[in-house]
Amino acid sequence: MSGSLDTGTLACDALDGAITAIAAAGCETPRLDAEVLLSHVLGVGRERLLTDRELTVRGPAVRAFQNAVRRRAVEREPVAYIVGSRGFRRLDLTVDHRVLIPRPETELLVEVALSLPRGVRVLDVGTGSGAVALALKDERPDMHVTGSDLSEEALALARANGERLGLEVEWLRADLLTDVPDEFDAILSNPPYVAESERGSLAPEILRHEPAEALFAGPDGLMAIRALLAQVAARVRVRLVALEVGAGQVPAVMELVCAAGFRAMRAEKDLAGIERVVVGER
């Protein structure tokens, strides 16, 4: 971005410069990233960037936009962390480096749970920002929803999201199901499932910025899932379990789900056609 921004420049020109810088850094969606960053800095909708040819970047917005583009292009920081929010189903969630950024594929966990009977008690294990728990409570207020996480920092963010959105979800600090009351009918989880051997293949946005403890799960990526299902096996009240998994992990996870006492199993595909969520019922 040129120094002319110090005295103000047209938003379309500022946008073009940002797109060039972000694309040169190897980011996959440079135009979208630049538009989101500039609309955030200016406090306007993205559509106005395209329709208002007189819109200008000046004053404090100049430095703010330059800094945002630097964070994206040089540091490869995810856009969601830079702007501090991410949409998830009908909700706008606050996110930062304490938690994973909610992904569209994780919405499958919510969709699976929407079919549960009225009044059931649902636990979202490893809730992070609270995305799954809050979205479920938003769409099914009749349910009793609890979100748990080992990270106090993540729970603080989830709790803040719940308070801001006015959604009554209970929050619980726990290592998987250890010391968790045996009162839940369904368990949902987007656990860590990346194998240690895959570190080198992850995008810089993920490897440099998202919390490693929420990503990696041993040599095969199944350490957390294996431990969780071993605990679920002893909880006969749990009638449904739904787990987000990595590409290619479905056969191994289905074996673990079966060993935990669930007989009716299926895999739900994400928008890319990848089997992403394993569901077990008993």
The answer, yes or no, to whether residue 7 has pLDDT greater than 70, is no
Same domain (yes/no): 167, 277: yes
Structural domain that includes position 228: 89-281
Chain-centroid distance of CA 200 in Å reads 21
Mean pLDDT for the chain overall: 94
Q: Are residues 71 and 93 in the same domain?
A: no
Query: For position 106, what pLDDT does the model report?
Result: 97
Taking the model in full, what pTM does it have? 0.91
In contact, 38 and 11? CB cutoff 8 Å: yes
What's the average model confidence in pLDDT over 75-80?
A: 97
What does the alpha-carbon distance between residue 191 and residue 245 come to, in Å, rounded to a whole number? 8
Q: Is residue 83 part of a domain?
A: no
pLDDT confidence tier of residue 243, bands split at 50, 70 and 90: very high
Number of domains in the chain: 2
Give the model confidence (pLDDT) of 141-181 as tens digits.
Answer: 999 999 999 999 999 999 999 999 999 999 999 999 999 99
Residue 81 lies in a domain: no
Residues 121 and 200 in one domain: yes
Q: Do residues 105 and 147 both lie within one domain?
A: yes
Shared-domain flag, residues 250 and 124: yes
Q: Are residues 130 and 182 in the same domain?
A: yes
Q: Does residue 82 fall inside a structural domain?
A: no
CATH number at residue 243: 3.40.50.150
Query: Looking at residue 25, which CATH number applies to its domain?
Result: 1.10.8
Residues 68 and 116 in one domain: no
- Domain membership of residue 109 (yes or no) is yes
Q: What is the pLDDT of residue 174?
A: 97
